[in-house]
């Protein structure tokens, strides 16, 4: 077995997303492009791990330029009031650190900030297929397992899924 540090970091080798992705997409949406079908990884550490562990050649990135909104509810003497406000850099730093903390716990490199991340889907594969294969791969682990315990099984399941197509 080779030196793990000799393996290229999939975040660094990710190709640019082909074209312009939609401004918003649900995690399970399939985005069709002339270069293939993609799904957008959420900002979670879980999706970052799935994207990283699948075939690195399928990972793509797109510079983040959207302004995200945060829903805020304030209670005062007149009742509850809900409004939206732009996400601050501090808010984004908390989101990024949560995802990167999960990746570090799994023994994986941190995801660079400032990008939207996408995974190319092989042929007729849907995001639900990825979820089903991953959950089947870790079903024998205890519910409170450490992320590092799941990485080998998830990596093997995703490699097999992507190689089958």
The yes-or-no verdict on residue 165 having pLDDT over 70 is no
Category of 153 on φ-ψ map: left (φ > 0), alpha (ψ -120 to 50) or beta: alpha
**What average pLDDT score do residues 14-27 get?**
89
The yes-or-no verdict on residue 41 having pLDDT over 80 is yes
The yes-or-no verdict on residue 164 having pLDDT over 70 is no
The yes-or-no verdict on residue 85 having pLDDT over 90 is no
pLDDT, tens digit, 9 for 90 and up, residues 89-107: 898 899 999 999 999 999 9
> Average per-residue pLDDT in the chain?
89
Mention every residue, 6+ apart, whose C-beta is less than 8 A from residue 97. Answer: none
| 3-state helix vs strand vs coil in the chain, percent to 5 | 40, 25, 40
**What average pLDDT score do residues 30-40 get?**
93
pLDDT of residue 11: 95
Cα 49 from Cα 108, distance rounded (Å): 8
**What average pLDDT score do residues 80-93 get?**
88
The yes-or-no verdict on residue 130 having pLDDT over 80 is yes
- Total count of domains within the chain: 1
pLDDT of residue 97: 95
Question: Domain range holding 55?
Answer: 4-164
Exposure string over 48-64, b if 16+ CB within 10 A, otherwise e: bbbbbbbbbebbbbbee
**Has this prediction a pTM greater than 0.85?**
no
Cα 69 from Cα 47, distance rounded (Å): 21
DSSP state of 90: H
Cα 95 from Cα 45, distance rounded (Å): 9
Among candidate residues 103, 21, 100, the one with its CA nearest the CA of residue 62: 21
Percent with pLDDT over 90 in the chain: 61
């Amino acid at each position: 077995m080779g030196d793990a540090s000799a393996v290229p970091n999939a975040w660094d080798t990710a190709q640019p997303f082909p074209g312009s992705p939609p401004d918003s997409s649900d995690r399970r949406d399939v985005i069709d492009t002339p270069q293939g079908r993609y799904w957008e990884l959420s900002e979670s550490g879980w999706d970052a791990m799935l994207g990283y562990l699948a075939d690195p050649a399928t990972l793509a990135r797109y510079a983040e330029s959207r302004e995200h909104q945060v829903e805020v509810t304030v209670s005062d003497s007149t009742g509850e009031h809900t409004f939206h406000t732009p996400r601050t850099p501090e808010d984004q730093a908390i989101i990024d650190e949560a995802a990167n903390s999960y990746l570090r716990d799994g023994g994986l490199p941190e995801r660079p900030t400032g990008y939207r991340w996408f995974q190319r889907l092989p042929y007729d594969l849907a995001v639900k297929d990825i979820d089903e294969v991953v959950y089947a791969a870790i079903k024998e682990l205890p519910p409170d397992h450490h992320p590092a315990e799941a990485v080998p099984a998830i990596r093997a399941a995703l490699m097999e899924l992507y190689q089958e197509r």
